[in-house]
Amino acid sequence: MNLTASPTSERIPTVEVLGTPISSMSMDDTLLKIQSWIAGTDSHLIVTADATALVIAEEKPRFREVLGKASLITADSVGILWAMKRAGCKNPHKVSGVDLVAKLVALSAQHGYRIFFLGAEPGVADRAAERFRLQHPGCNIVGTHHGYFPADSDEIVAQTIAKAKPDILFAAMGMPRQEEFILRTMPLVGAKIGMGVGGSFDVFSGKTKRAPVLLQKMRMEWAWRLMLNPSKLSKVKLLPKFVMLILKNKP
């Protein structure tokens, strides 16, 4: 099982933000691309990046390496959309982890895609799966596992996941842990798609409430998340650095 290396070989339209190629595809085109990968033979890492991810990549070469191995990096924050516009992209699209999970689960009900939910506190991924089964009868969620285990148990957890033979592995253990898990275990797991989805299971299980639609429309969902979870402040503190780095580069 090969893990494909770079987005450029796949002819995905991208815009460089701080040296990282961010996809400018719409949600519909992104879903078509993912479906074509599910039908193929290779494994692909998908990263849904927010501004803090790109600052972390500036600071930690190991995470930059992880991004370099992704087949697709989507824009998952207003900050990235702003940077893409500054780089000349007229109509960048937000393709968030939360939205991709919901849409791929819906597609699973139509096409039978096998999906595994890894991550979050014990019971959370199960509750998210239960809710999806009510919402999309027939969706093929083939297993769940919580995300609180030490890195030296990665292989054991990967073996459990492999037994469920998933086409798609959603890993919700926070960045960069989830992406590193996917890269390390993909050959063993054998899924066609491995995607880090952060706090998505918390949202779909009902543990975390999604921001009111008005805030979502105003692109202020981050403020809502910060209010519910003040520990995210350490991430928010990276945002001024992101803005400075972008402004330093001439458009």
Whole-angstrom Cα distance, residue 136 to residue 138? Answer: 6
Stretch that binds ligand UDP, among 12-20, 57-65, 162-170, 199-207 (CB under 6 A): 199-207
Which residues does 86 contact at the CB level (< 8 Å), separation at least 6? 246, 251
Under rule CB under 6 A, residue 202 binds ligand UDP: yes
Residue of 147, 186, 191, 211 that binds ligand UDP (CB under 6 A)? 147
**Half-sphere exposure of residue 119, counting CA atoms within 13 Å on the CB side?**
26
Is the CB of 82 or the CB of 181 nearer to ligand UDP? 181
Place of tokens 């543990």: 207
Residue of 17, 56, 105, 175 that binds ligand UDP (CB under 6 A)? 175
Is the CB of 148 or the CB of 160 nearer to ligand UDP? 148
Is the CB of 69 or the CB of 127 nearer to ligand UDP? 127
Are 105 and 177 within 8 A, CB to CB?
no
**The two three-digit tokens of residue 97, written as one number:** 């982890």
Under rule CB under 6 A, residue 143 binds ligand UDP: no
Is the CB of 89 or the CB of 118 nearer to ligand UDP? 118
Task: Give the Cβ contact number of residue 70 at 10 Å.
Answer: 28
Whole-angstrom Cα distance, residue 170 to residue 180? Answer: 13
Q: How far is the CB of 2 from ligand UDP (least distance, A)?
A: 27
> What percent helix, strand, coil does the chain show, rounded to 5?
50, 15, 30
Is the CB of 174 or the CB of 190 nearer to ligand UDP? 174
Whole-angstrom Cα distance, residue 124 to residue 142? Answer: 15
Residue of 57, 104, 198, 222 that binds ligand UDP (CB under 6 A)? 198
Q: How far is the CB of 133 from ligand UDP (least distance, A)?
A: 20
Whole-angstrom Cα distance, residue 236 to residue 250? Answer: 24
Q: How far is the CB of 9 from ligand UDP (least distance, A)?
A: 27
Is the CB of 87 or the CB of 149 nearer to ligand UDP? 149
Residue of 21, 79, 143, 199 that binds ligand UDP (CB under 6 A)? 199
Under rule CB under 6 A, residue 36 binds ligand UDP: no
Q: Where are the beta strands (DSSP E) in the chain?
A: 14-17, 20-23, 44-49, 72-75, 114-119, 140-145, 168-172, 193-196
- Residues 46-65, interacting with ligand UDP (CB under 6 A): none
- Coil, strand or helix: which one is 77? coil
Is the CB of 7 or the CB of 199 nearer to ligand UDP? 199
Stretch that binds ligand UDP, among 14-22, 84-92, 117-125, 179-187 (CB under 6 A): 117-125
Residue 151 identity: A
Residues near ligand UDP, by CB under 6 A: 119-121, 147-148, 172-175, 198-199, 201-202
